[in-house]
Structure 1
């Protein structure tokens, strides 16, 4: 593997990070066995790190009508559309784990319309992709289509919010040239 920097911007040493950020990174490292590069890259700007992960956690970890795997599907599909290598690889690994399916992330990333997912999930991803690329076109018909698949108003907000948040995340990852950790590639295969 090439010795490519984690980011094109400075990455602080763990010892030099504020205590709350260092503690969070150490907890992630203890759980996963490595430090995902997103944590190191965003630690460059501590206030933004805190805000980013607060919103990330509010979207991705809360109880919802969407499963955690479905939220990861949104991330993988929209991140592929945004050409975000980091998020496709990292969240693809998380999707494989959450869905307990070694094939799903590749299918969703390449072409979710042909993936082995439900029609409901395809409708969810159609909407997420529209929010990601053409949010200005979202209208009542889009909401009604999701409601016909059993999504509640809160679920629809969640689909849109995950898509929008990761649109920002994808742009930051591309701006910083954030590199996926090698560990992600083999996870749950």
Structure 2
């Protein structure tokens, strides 16, 4: 049960973002830029970064939400599952393995990212902007994970919620829906 009163039909981060829309707006904008804006990394690759960080932080809501988004973007379920189990054996490029390793180090402690991690990513073809954005996405999702879990937000009653959420993220992005979220209430 959440530590503060949140809309019961809005589990996880959505309820928190609705609770305080003024603070939600800038982080929604940053998330939209980083995960859906122009980038040499695909949207699926950027969502994998969010998934790895959220899974490593054991944030069940964010891990499920972003894995479902990866699955929808890639049209399959194995990549997100395998990346969560073991980055180094997952079916992603060597460049992505290096970037996901950096993201996982940031998740633990930013100081764990070493010159060797950066050199490995560059040797596998990662650009400076891809490295920058990986670190920033990882840091942002640490914020989200701690926000969601630190407020004890609810998990959805039905795991089908994550498919609906993934569809919204894939097709509408991270901004607040113009009509709000009342349509999600059970009548």
Give TM-score, length-normalised by structure 2. Answer: 0.77
- Say which of 128, 133, 143 aligns to 1:153: 128
The aligned residue for residue 137 of structure 1 is 112
The aligned residue for residue 144 of structure 2 is 169
The reply to whether residue 71 of structure 1 matches residue 46 of structure 2 is yes
The aligned residue for residue 113 of structure 1 is 88
Q: CA deviation at 1:83?
A: 0.8
Alignment of 1:1-189 (within 5 A): 7-12=2-7, 37-181=12-156, 182-184=159-161
> What are the ranges of 5 or more consecutive residues in structure 1 without an aligned counterpart?
14-33
CA distance in 1, matches of 2:46, 2:4: 29
What is the aligned length?
163
Provide Cα deviations, 1:77-127, integer angstroms capped at 9, x if missing partner.
111111100111000100101112122222222222232222222111111
Q: CA deviation at 1:12?
A: 4.9
CA distance in 2, matches of 1:176, 1:122: 32
CA distance in 2, matches of 1:110, 1:178: 25
Task: Output the aligned Cα RMSD.
Answer: 2.3
Distance change (3 Å), C-alpha of 1:180 and 1:96: farther
CA distance in 2, matches of 1:113, 1:162: 20
> What are the ranges of 5 or more consecutive residues in structure 2 without an aligned counterpart?
167-187
Does the 8 A contact of 1:88 with 1:109 survive in 2? no
